[in-house]
Structure 1
Amino acid sequence: MQQNVTLEARVPTATYRLQFNGDFRFCDAARLVPYLDALGVSDIYASPFLKARTGSMHGYDIVDHNRLNPELGSRDDFNAYCAMLQRHSMGQILDFVPNHMCVEGGENERWLDLLENGPSSAHGEFFDVDWSPVKKELTDKVLIPVLGDQYGTILENGELVLSFQEGAFFISYYEHRFPIIPKTYSPILTHRLHELERLFPPDHEAYRELLSIVTAIDHLPFYTERDTERVRERYREKEVIKRRLWTLCSENWPIKEFIDENVRIFNGEKGNPRSFDLLDGLLRQQVYRLAHWRTATDEINYRRFFDINALGAIRMETPRVFEETHRLVMELVSEGTVTGLRIDHADGLYDPTDYFRRLQRACFLETRLASLGGSAGETPETLRETILQMYDEMLEVSPQTMPFYIVGEKILMKNERLPEDWPIHGTTGYEFANAVTGLMVDTRNGREFDAMYARFIQERPNFAEITYLKKKQVMRFSMGGEINTLGHYLNTLSESNRHTRDFTLGSLTRALMEVIAHFPVYRTYTATRKVADRDRQYIEYAVAKAKRRNPAMSESIFTFIEDVLLLRFYDSTGGEEQKQWLDFVMKFQQLTGPVMAKGLEDTAFYVFNRLVALNEVGGTPERFGLTMEAFHGQNIERARSTPFTMLATSTHDTKRSEDVRARISVLSEDPTFWHDCLMRWSRINRGHKVIVQGVKVPDRNEEYLLYQTIVGAWPAEEFTADGHGAFVDRVRQYMLKAMREAKVNTSWINPNPVHEEAVHHFVDAILRNVPTNGFLADLRRTLPPLVRCGMLNSLSQTLLKAASPGIPDFYQGTELWDFSLVDPDNRRPVDFDKRSVMLEGLRLAEQERGTLALARELLADMADGRVKLFLVWKTLCFRRDHRSLFEAGKYLPLEVQGERSDNVCAFERYNDGESVIAVAPRFFSRLGAVPAGGETWQDSRIVIPFESAGCAYRNIFTGKRVVTSPREGQTILPLADVLADFPVALLEAVREELPR
């Protein structure tokens, strides 16, 4: 696919991810802009900053798409921050969440309206609720699995509390808040009515008003009413009722006291179960059914983000939902304060292709109107239609027309490509993170690592089998409700044909689970009655694997499922049934992604621990590294198909930071060294294990993961006074999450506190900072060469990211060494003041002492991270000054010859007379303590095709020039010269021939 990138799309040269929350606000980002500009960053890549649940640390739990998050500052603060960006000619890419909203906590007004008005809610079409679910008792209701125990227990503990506020009644469960349907106010208002009669004569105005309100309540249309006029009547009259009731209470204190006492009575008396009957009866009449959170496994009837009950999916395929959720974003696009979008979890959408097309169309309208001096809200409809017609005409000529910079969060599996019909510039870069990590892993040692890992954990794991079993586990215990719903849908389809109607619900559901468990990618993208060849292959593969694995199941069931997924309609399949088949396929596609994510990333990746640097989002841990040829091949393909895709090495979603992976990758270079470490450490620490139910804890696999985690996350500098304790706590928290995600000895659903505490005890014991701790002493002796090689690895992967085809993205703080683990560890505060001072110090030092002297100084003391900051600064500024070279430049892999040829990745980027060569070494443990000069590189050299001898190149990291020379009929650059003073090189062609 050759993308036709046209029109006004503002493409960044480098992005920097900022995590906004209550501790990092718009004003903090504004102060950071000059530093990022000086660093060479062109665009801030902002985490979601729309209104999220109070206290959110990440912003993905949005409650209102059309408000800025007040915890981040005011609109004036936001405008000041955006003005600072514009002052520095910087753009802003917003991480936008179209798939889901937070539905817990009582802050989502749309969700509260749905809970008050049911299927006829004005916002009912926003949420993906099944109002006719498998469980008939939930018809026209929504199950809310939020309780910490069984409903009856919670009720009789008095944890569900009725309250009366401003004329309306609510149920509270700690921070959660649920509205009472006005139609059901009467039982509260009329309870003990005879006692009120003693206070007021029958003709008293306040008493008559109360009775009148009760009568009005009785005449309200029920929440299942679908007639438009009746629905409008209910909406109008229920608000009138609330106002009347509040006015009545405000003006008549006895009425208010009467209602408050009734509320107290309804709330029951702990220890008296019968006293809760009134509240129970009231709750049974509501749209929602409050339930123990575990019931979500089987009975939940609203689609979620993965298996997170708090995040309810929204129906972005509905035009009104799209328009209303994008109103503020389009306003920001029109203003130019948002110049790009990152779309979160595109695979969760009903039709991602259609969504991206509508999004590009909407952005085109806003940017074109802005160029004309108007906005969508104040522009005549005829002009809007003219502009949209213009876009549609361009789309007919070039389906890949992309007027706005958009990337999608899409995880591509092995050999999978981005769907060609998505009008976006690429992905968020997981595939590059895996490629560059794989390049740093020595593929030759895969079998030795297999054997060593198997010996240590005392079993021989098979990653494909682990993934299959974990996907099945997720479907049974986390997403059973979704599977049951899809199984019933499939059963309904089977009933319409005489040849398939004998299939049982149970057999269809089991077969469906088998197909999903074998699905090789996150999802397919069928949205019309034509199935793409790519998707056909994935479906046929999954069905064939499921058939082979289940010889006892009728093959005809799998054939039926394949027919449906491939839309191979029968002669008897009518038009309406064909629509149902397609709808089933699209819902099936929305489910396979979450199952893959939970089964693979969030479970299997914590079980198969052979070399955890490879266990990254979008990675293939069973493949031990990546060959140089494969890395170059991916770069060539990216330059051709998605030249503006993001290139990531760390993100908020990565399992480990780039520097942790870079260090762990070093272990692949010497299996014997790692084996000796494991044996020695295991022997030293075996006395700290605890026997739990006859088994030593941690188990061998947990211990193996723990050692890699300690090696990878150990700081480059000595611990501060409080640093050691903080490190131990981070490792404890990581191991807790890792164990629960693995779902072997404990889990989030069924925690095993005894096992978890035993592992924590082990961590504390082996990391106790006392002189007698032999493990800690051995660790401190062993780690220095690993730490140094890991830092050198990191420099190479940073250079490769900055020079490869695509847009380099930097996660906050990673311009210095960052040894973070999975979230929330990677959301710790970043010391930006320190980084800003360091950058200014580098700038002044270069002016005073020169580039070469500075480079040598930084290399001599790498622990403080300035050497990485220096590399980022020099490469990004060079890239910004030569953006056409990197955006449009061709990619040419360069051959490396000599004894160290396997130790270097080199390539050239060239365009319109400009040329630059990137040289990134790897496998540093074989290169000596300081990988520089003739002793290290001997006669190894880079072959420079299409050049003559005597051509000069300037290394931007040292300022030194190197000159091509002839050798055996080739033009070469000696690595001893290229890497004489710095471990990596970015060589700019000077284009002047020197005297020979």
Structure 2
Amino acid sequence: MTVPRSTLRLQFHKDFTFDDALARVEYFAALGVSHLYASPITTAEPGSMHGYDTVDYTQVSAECGGEAGLKRLVDKLRERGMGLIIDVVPNHMGVGGSSNAWWLDILEWGRHSAHARHFDIDWHSPDPALRGKVLMPCLGAPYGDELAAGRIELHFAAATGRFYVNYGPHVGPICPIDYASILQSAERADLGALAERFQGLTTQPADQPRAAEACELLREFVAQNGTEAIDAALANYAPGEAVTRDRLHRLLERQHFRLAWWRTASDEVNWRRFFDISTLAGVRVERPEVFDAVHALPFRLYAEGVIDGVRIDHVDGLAEPREYCQRLRQRLNELREGEPYIVVEKILARGEPLRDDWPVHGTTGYDFMTDVGALLHDPAGAEPLATTWAELSGRSANFADEAMMARRKILAENLSAELDRAARALHRIARDSLGTRDFTFTALRRVLTELVVHFPVYRVYPQNGLRTEADNVYYNQALAGAKQTLSPADHATLEQVDAWLGGSAAEDAAPVRSTANAQPGLNNAPLSHSGSSRRTAQTLFSQLTAPVAAKAVEDTACYRYGRLLSRNEVGSDPAEFAISVDQFHTSNLERAQRFPHAMLATATHDHKRGEDVRARLAVLSEIAHDCCATLRAWSTLNAPQRRAPDGSVGTMDHDWAPGPAAEAMLYQTLVGCWPPNLSPDDETGVKALAERVAQWQLKALREAKLRTSWLAPDEAYENACRDFLFDILAPQRRDGFLSELSGLVARISQAGAINSLQQTVLRLTSPGVPDLYQGTELWDFSLVDPDNRRPVDFAQRQAWLVETPPSEFLPDWRSGRVKLGVIQRLLSLRAHLPSLLSDGAYLPLTVTGKHAAHVVAFARRHNNAWAVIIVTHLAAGLLDADSDLPLVDAAQWDDTAVAMPDELTSRALFDWMSTAAPKVEDNGVLYLRDALATMPVAVLVEDGVPRA
């Protein structure tokens, strides 16, 4: 099969290998997924728990089981008629430590390395200390301090005959042109003879084979004679004495890398990073030879029939996403008959389309995740929750304000070097023209800053150096925002930058100048500047706006803004609180038309809160006023546990830990992730929860970058926040805060479970390919990684797979088994009628009656086959307070009904969620009191459920 019916995402690492997955294939098959969807399988940094820090594109990870293990898994999958999709990471590689041969070759040979053009390195840095060098920002303290402390040392690798400098796990290869001086320093005849073999070497490629031969002789010498002679040479570079330490320093200064304090990276790094991570270097996959090298393994595996398709990580980091996707599709088509399945990880803003000229099946599903997430929220809760948030936190009620401040902070503190590089590219263009040569670097940087901070989406995608109309929809918003905030004196510069960034063709991009600026008697025509310079500037601009959006919105503002944390998710805009049922239908219709096989996700390895955490928190939007009163009451109740900077405890009004904003977000987090069966009397269970939340809290505080951060951690504040958390969850609070916390959770849990089942059914029946993240077959109350990557008890899930209708498990809903049953049953339906949900038309259905606003209903149709999907929506106000079931009492629905398609009026329908067979009335309506009598969700088809 080519296009999956459904996928199951697995995170592979040393503790969960291909063989571990193989042992669970029978479960995956019985569950009903058609394809496993693997995290990156290439060789990553040793011990990597995610695989996105690839160090060798050519080899399947040995830690995960190697190629043999992968093929054993695939053979088993094929036996069960299943396939495999793999995650490909073409944008960046891991360059920390000592495992990336490409990167080590660059550190050794500099710009003459065979891999120098594989990475996006600026070899012409304006800093003389970095020209022809690579910044290596790995030191834990300033260079001079670490050198004096003896933590930077020269070593010799006997196995390879190479010298290298070592700092912790980091390795900097010494260029062989310096070997002669190192060997001669020992003043030994045997080493002197070897040193002659290195005399006269240059870094030119023609000399590198001669260097390799000389290194081999050095290796053989050590193998035969031991390391005594080499040790004597190394002693002359020992950091313990001033003279030898100075010699080591001078040796380091001659290398093609500059060891530096890690804090220098944000300001001085001269190579493209993945976001602001200085152990991940950007790869120039737009170069044909790099593209081939990066994709050699997946291409071979696809040609051999091992994999069925690919998921492309962070496509917006690439210089040319459109061209990349086109090249990828073409190559895969050449390798094998059939259509390869290709999806891209792409964050789309509301209304932003995935480009039609990308030959892919769609995105990995963040757009669906934000749609279904927003659908769960009551729009009436937006204003009171925002007002209360502003009152409690002292921060803005508007997310846009937080996002703007975060963008400025990220540009100033985290991505300053990247901003400088993009500004320099514009400055080089300016210098090519007499009319623009006086546009200063500082003015261009100022203009560029305002464009970036006002940019509303990840990036634009110019074609042949020109922005498209689709690009300008968003670029013009940034242009207007920049014009508003810049001084009028900068507007001419802004107009010129607009032209260079794709606003006009190269020959039309004449400098903007007024008549007053023209010089009499001087030819004021612009000198020509190449289109390649403009495209370079456009690429750097796009590779800047994307990480700024990710770091500022997802990793900063979303940890600062707490109106309701269920809307603070990857791919979502917290400013958008809710969408209507009609808007949800519109999105589904558009996907069905444009990308009918895009992935549909509600949980990922990157989510900030598990899908059921978000579903439960969404209920607070339905009881917004009560929620606001509760948050205020809890703040008062726990005031005695506040911490002062000196660690003292007690009620205080100013400068306390965790502070009002962090405290309010902590309460929401506790409400969202409190396990369904946890009692406030369970000391062990509450402590385990506290440990998990403490891990989230530390990350949240540092990502917010307000009172502490990854760059400048305030450990005293962080410890005080942790102490506050453990105090309010201490056993002595069981009759106080713990009782109130568990009481609110109990009040909203049934509605939260309905929300969870609602989004599960919508994911499995909407147009697209439903993706299941590992372990989320049961309730997923996880928090941000690493919490969402904890080991999964697949044995328990397998034991709970039965043919029993999900409705049978509703009374025991807290176990999560009802969710597993819903997933199993709907995946079975997708296998039973594959074309119906994969290719069927999407038809929104009209709901009438007293509670029409509390229902989402649509039909899927393929030829003569039909499915009608009905789910309970915004259920909090309809539930019976005396009932423990997450189910609206049938009588409560009153006259609420779904207007059914005419073709179904005379047909018998069966509910795949229960044993019900609700009747369509003669007037063509189906009453909810019949359809939703035993389950809060219904999926009605003509065929009964196949029995084993």
TM bucket (normalised to shorter chain) is over 0.9
1:990 Cα deviation from its structure 2 partner: 5.3
Secondary structure of the equivalent of 1:413? coil
Task: Sort the Cα spacing of 1:675 and 1:465 in 2 relative to 1 into closer, same or farther, 3 A.
Answer: closer
Q: Which residue among 355, 371, 391 is the counterpart of 1:435?
A: 371
Aligned to 1:582: 535
Aligned to 2:565: 612
**Residue 121 (structure 2) pairs with residue 150 (structure 1):** no
Q: Which residue among 832, 838, 851 is the counterpart of 1:887?
A: 838
Aligned to 1:382: none
1:280 Cα deviation from its structure 2 partner: 0.6
Q: Aligned letter for 1:701?
A: A
User: 1:839-870: per-residue Cα shift (whole Å, max 9, x none)?
Assistant: 1xx23xx3xxxx4xxx4431111111100000
Secondary structure of the equivalent of 1:64? strand
1:343 Cα deviation from its structure 2 partner: 0.2
Task: Sort the Cα spacing of 1:956 and 1:155 in 2 relative to 1 into closer, same or farther, 3 A.
Answer: same
Aligned to 2:520: none
1:192 Cα deviation from its structure 2 partner: 4.1
Q: Which residue among 449, 456, 460 is the counterpart of 2:396?
A: 460
In structure 1, the gaps of 5 or more residues are 1-8, 197-206, 226-230, 369-401, 992-996
**Residue 257 (structure 2) pairs with residue 288 (structure 1):** yes
Q: Which residue among 213, 233, 257 is the counterpart of 2:228?
A: 257
User: 1:637-686: per-residue Cα shift (whole Å, max 9, x none)?
Assistant: 01000000000000011111110000000000011220221122111101
User: 1:91-144: per-residue Cα shift (whole Å, max 9, x none)?
Assistant: 111011000111111101111111111111111111111110121221111111
Q: Please say if residues 487 and 505 of structure 1, whose CA atoms lie closer than 8 Å, have aligned partners that are also in contact.
A: yes
Aligned to 1:965: 921
Q: Aligned letter for 1:245?
A: L
Aligned to 1:652: 605
Aligned to 1:22: 14
Q: Which residue among 332, 347, 368 is the counterpart of 1:363?
A: 332
Aligned to 2:296: 327
Aligned to 1:871: 822
Task: Sort the Cα spacing of 1:698 and 1:634 in 2 relative to 1 into closer, same or farther, 3 A.
Answer: same
Supply the distance in 2 between the matched residues of 1:733 and 1:617 (Cα, whole angstroms).
19
Aligned to 1:187: 181
Q: Please say if residues 963 and 973 of structure 1, whose CA atoms lie closer than 8 Å, have aligned partners that are also in contact.
A: yes
1:961 Cα deviation from its structure 2 partner: 1.0
Q: Please say if residues 567 and 582 of structure 1, whose CA atoms lie closer than 8 Å, have aligned partners that are also in contact.
A: no
Aligned to 2:651: none
Aligned to 1:858: 809
1:249 Cα deviation from its structure 2 partner: 2.9
Q: Which residue among 689, 712, 736 is the counterpart of 1:774?
A: 736
Aligned to 2:339: 403
Aligned to 1:237: 210
Supply the distance in 1 between the matched residues of 2:591 and 2:733 (Cα, whole angstroms).
53
**Residue 668 (structure 2) pairs with residue 729 (structure 1):** no
Q: Please say if residues 932 and 976 of structure 1, whose CA atoms lie closer than 8 Å, have aligned partners that are also in contact.
A: no
1:337 Cα deviation from its structure 2 partner: 1.3
Q: Which residue among 928, 941, 945 is the counterpart of 2:901?
A: 945
Task: Sort the Cα spacing of 1:29 and 1:721 in 2 relative to 1 into closer, same or farther, 3 A.
Answer: farther
Supply the distance in 2 between the matched residues of 1:950 and 1:914 (Cα, whole angstroms).
14
1:975-990 pair list within 5 angstroms: 975-989=928-942
1:529 Cα deviation from its structure 2 partner: 3.1
Supply the distance in 1 between the matched residues of 2:165 and 2:684 (Cα, whole angstroms).
45
Q: Please say if residues 127 and 312 of structure 1, whose CA atoms lie closer than 8 Å, have aligned partners that are also in contact.
A: yes
Supply the distance in 2 between the matched residues of 1:909 and 1:332 (Cα, whole angstroms).
35
Aligned to 2:668: 708
Name the count of aligned residue pairs. 911
Supply the distance in 1 between the matched residues of 2:576 and 2:297 (Cα, whole angstroms).
44
**Residue 595 (structure 2) pairs with residue 642 (structure 1):** yes
Aligned to 2:323: 354
Q: Please say if residues 61 and 67 of structure 2, whose CA atoms lie closer than 8 Å, have aligned partners that are also in contact.
A: no
1:829 Cα deviation from its structure 2 partner: 0.5
Q: Please say if residues 134 and 485 of structure 1, whose CA atoms lie closer than 8 Å, have aligned partners that are also in contact.
A: no
Q: Please say if residues 426 and 646 of structure 1, whose CA atoms lie closer than 8 Å, have aligned partners that are also in contact.
A: yes
Supply the distance in 1 between the matched residues of 2:788 and 2:372 (Cα, whole angstroms).
20
Aligned to 1:176: 170
Q: Which residue among 183, 191, 200 is the counterpart of 1:219?
A: 200
Q: Aligned letter for 1:57?
A: M
Supply the distance in 1 between the matched residues of 2:732 and 2:414 (Cα, whole angstroms).
43
Secondary structure of the equivalent of 2:898? strand
Secondary structure of the equivalent of 1:93? strand
CA RMSD of aligned residues (A): 1.7
Q: Which residue among 806, 812, 825 is the counterpart of 2:774?
A: 812
Q: Which residue among 894, 899, 908 is the counterpart of 2:859?
A: 908
Aligned to 1:380: none
Q: Which residue among 575, 587, 598 is the counterpart of 1:622?
A: 575
Q: Please say if residues 432 and 528 of structure 2, whose CA atoms lie closer than 8 Å, have aligned partners that are also in contact.
A: no
1:439-450 pair list within 5 angstroms: 439-450=375-386
**Residue 871 (structure 2) pairs with residue 898 (structure 1):** no
Aligned to 2:69: 77
1:932 Cα deviation from its structure 2 partner: 4.1
Task: Name which of structure 1's ranges 91-100 and 574-583 shifts more when overlaid on structure 2.
Answer: 574-583
Supply the distance in 2 between the matched residues of 1:887 and 1:773 (Cα, whole angstroms).
52
**Residue 106 (structure 2) pairs with residue 114 (structure 1):** yes
**Residue 585 (structure 2) pairs with residue 632 (structure 1):** yes
Secondary structure of the equivalent of 2:644? strand
Supply the distance in 1 between the matched residues of 2:463 and 2:539 (Cα, whole angstroms).
7
Q: TM-score, normalised by structure 2?
A: 0.94
Task: Name which of structure 1's ranges 272-281 and 316-325 shifts more when overlaid on structure 2.
Answer: 272-281
Q: TM-score, normalised by structure 1?
A: 0.89
Q: Which residue among 545, 562, 571 is the counterpart of 1:592?
A: 545
1:949 Cα deviation from its structure 2 partner: 4.0
Aligned to 1:92: 84
Supply the distance in 1 between the matched residues of 2:72 and 2:839 (Cα, whole angstroms).
34
Task: Name which of structure 1's ranges 304-313 and 547-556 shifts more when overlaid on structure 2.
Answer: 547-556
Q: Please say if residues 807 and 913 of structure 2, whose CA atoms lie closer than 8 Å, have aligned partners that are also in contact.
A: no
Supply the distance in 2 between the matched residues of 1:457 and 1:104 (Cα, whole angstroms).
39
Supply the distance in 2 between the matched residues of 1:638 and 1:826 (Cα, whole angstroms).
28
User: 1:769-806: per-residue Cα shift (whole Å, max 9, x none)?
Assistant: 23665101221222212122211110010000001000
Aligned to 2:555: 602
Supply the distance in 1 between the matched residues of 2:592 and 2:66 (Cα, whole angstroms).
41
1:579 Cα deviation from its structure 2 partner: 2.3
Supply the distance in 2 between the matched residues of 1:856 and 1:722 (Cα, whole angstroms).
32
Q: Aligned letter for 2:854?
A: N
Q: Please say if residues 569 and 607 of structure 2, whose CA atoms lie closer than 8 Å, have aligned partners that are also in contact.
A: yes
Q: Aligned letter for 1:243?
A: E
Task: Name which of structure 1's ranges 882-891 and 242-251 shifts more when overlaid on structure 2.
Answer: 242-251
Secondary structure of the equivalent of 1:692? coil
Supply the distance in 1 between the matched residues of 2:822 and 2:918 (Cα, whole angstroms).
19
Supply the distance in 2 between the matched residues of 1:573 and 1:954 (Cα, whole angstroms).
74
Secondary structure of the equivalent of 2:706? coil
Task: Sort the Cα spacing of 1:286 and 1:944 in 2 relative to 1 into closer, same or farther, 3 A.
Answer: same
1:574 Cα deviation from its structure 2 partner: 6.3
User: 1:243-267: per-residue Cα shift (whole Å, max 9, x none)?
Assistant: 11222233345xx313202213312
In structure 2, the gaps of 5 or more residues are 511-524, 647-653
Q: Please say if residues 950 and 963 of structure 1, whose CA atoms lie closer than 8 Å, have aligned partners that are also in contact.
A: no
Secondary structure of the equivalent of 1:708? helix
Secondary structure of the equivalent of 2:615? helix
**Residue 227 (structure 2) pairs with residue 246 (structure 1):** no
Q: Please say if residues 381 and 621 of structure 2, whose CA atoms lie closer than 8 Å, have aligned partners that are also in contact.
A: yes
1:822-841 pair list within 5 angstroms: 822-839=784-801
Secondary structure of the equivalent of 2:913? coil
Q: Aligned letter for 2:898?
A: I
Supply the distance in 1 between the matched residues of 2:340 and 2:395 (Cα, whole angstroms).
51
Q: Please say if residues 956 and 985 of structure 1, whose CA atoms lie closer than 8 Å, have aligned partners that are also in contact.
A: yes
User: 1:509-546: per-residue Cα shift (whole Å, max 9, x none)?
Assistant: 01101100001110011141342101123222211111
Q: Aligned letter for 1:454?
A: A
